[in-house]
Amino acid sequence: MGLAQTQQVLAQLYTNTDFRERFFANPEAVGAELGLSCDEAQKLAQLSAQEVNIFANSLKWKRLGEVRELLPRTARALGKNFTALFWRYAQTHLPKGIKKHREDAIAFANFIAIAEEENLDPPWISDLVRYEKTWLLAYEPTSRLIVCWFRYPVGIANLEGMNRQPTIAIWFRLSKQSQLRHIVRSL
pLDDT at 53: 82
Task: Write the Ramachandran bin of 122: left for phi over 0, alpha for psi from -120 to 50, otherwise beta.
Answer: beta
More reliable by pLDDT, 146 or 12: 146
Burial readout 118-156 (b: 16 or more C-beta within 10 A, e: otherwise): eebeeebbbbbbbbbbbbbebeeeebeebebebebbbbe
What is the CB neighbour count within 10 angstroms for residue 55? 14
pTM: 0.79
pLDDT band at 7 (very low <50, low <70, confident <90, very high): confident
pLDDT at 43: 81
More reliable by pLDDT, 92 or 151: 151
Which of 81, 97, 98, 86 minimizes the C-alpha distance to 62? 86
More reliable by pLDDT, 145 or 32: 145
* pLDDT at residue 186 is higher than 70: yes
More reliable by pLDDT, 183 or 159: 183
Q: What is the mean pLDDT of the chain?
A: 87
Cα–Cα distance, 58 to 90 (Å, whole number)? 12
Cα–Cα distance, 102 to 142 (Å, whole number)? 15
- C-alpha R_g of the chain: 21
pLDDT band at 68 (very low <50, low <70, confident <90, very high): very high
pLDDT at 56: 84
pLDDT single digits (tens) 70-113: 999 999 999 999 999 999 998 888 777 778 899 999 999 999 98
Which of 125, 108, 14, 99 minimizes the C-alpha distance to 67? 108
Q: 168: which strand partners?
A: 149, 185
pLDDT band at 160 (very low <50, low <70, confident <90, very high): confident
pLDDT at 116: 67
When pLDDT is averaged across residues 154-175 and rounded to a whole number, the result is 86
